Structure 1
Amino acid sequence: MSVAPTLAAKEMEENADTLSSHRVISLLLDGALERVSQAKACVRDGNETDKVILISKLIGIVNGLRQSLNMDQGGAIAVNLEKLYLYMADRLAACENEEELHVLSEIGELIGNVKQGWDAIAEPQAG
Structure 2
Amino acid sequence: MLMHDSGYDSYQQVNLDAQAASATPHQLVLMLIDGLLDELVRVKGHISAKRLAEKGEGINKCMNILIGLDSALDIDNGGEIAANLHDLYDFIQTELFRASVNNDNARIETAEQVITTIREGWEGFGKHA
TM range, normalised to the smaller chain?
0.7 to 0.9
Q: Which of the numbers 107, 110, 113 marks the counterpart of 2:111?
A: 107
Residue of structure 2 in register with 1:55 after alignment = 59
Residue of structure 2 in register with 1:97 after alignment = 102
- Of residues 31-40 and 14-23 in structure 1, the stretch that sits farther from structure 2 once superposed is 14-23
2:13 & 2:88 partners in 1: Cα distance?
23
Give the structure-1-normalised TM-score: 0.82
**Structure 2: stretches of 5+ with no match in the other structure:** none
Secondary structure (helix, strand or coil) at the match of 1:102 reads helix
Residue of structure 2 in register with 1:39 after alignment = 43
Question: 2:99 matched to 1:66?
Answer: no
Q: Is the Cα–Cα contact under 8 Å of residues 12 and 24 in structure 1 kept in the other structure?
A: no
Counting aligned pairs with the same residue, the percent is: 24
Cα deviation, residue 81, structure 1:
0.6
Question: 2:31 matched to 1:27?
Answer: yes
Residue of structure 2 in register with 1:79 after alignment = 83
1:74 & 1:104 partners in 2: Cα distance?
28
Summarize deviations over 1:2-56 as a string: whole Å, max 9, x none: 7xx8xx9765422333110000000001001001100001111111111110011
Give the structure-2-normalised TM-score: 0.81
Q: Is the Cα–Cα contact under 8 Å of residues 35 and 54 in structure 1 kept in the other structure?
A: yes
Secondary structure (helix, strand or coil) at the match of 1:46 reads coil
2:31 & 2:78 partners in 1: Cα distance?
20
Q: Which amino acid aligns with 1:64?
A: G
**Structure 1: stretches of 5+ with no match in the other structure:** none
Which one scores higher on RCO, CA 8 angstroms, separation ≥ 6?
1
Residue of structure 2 in register with 1:13 after alignment = 17
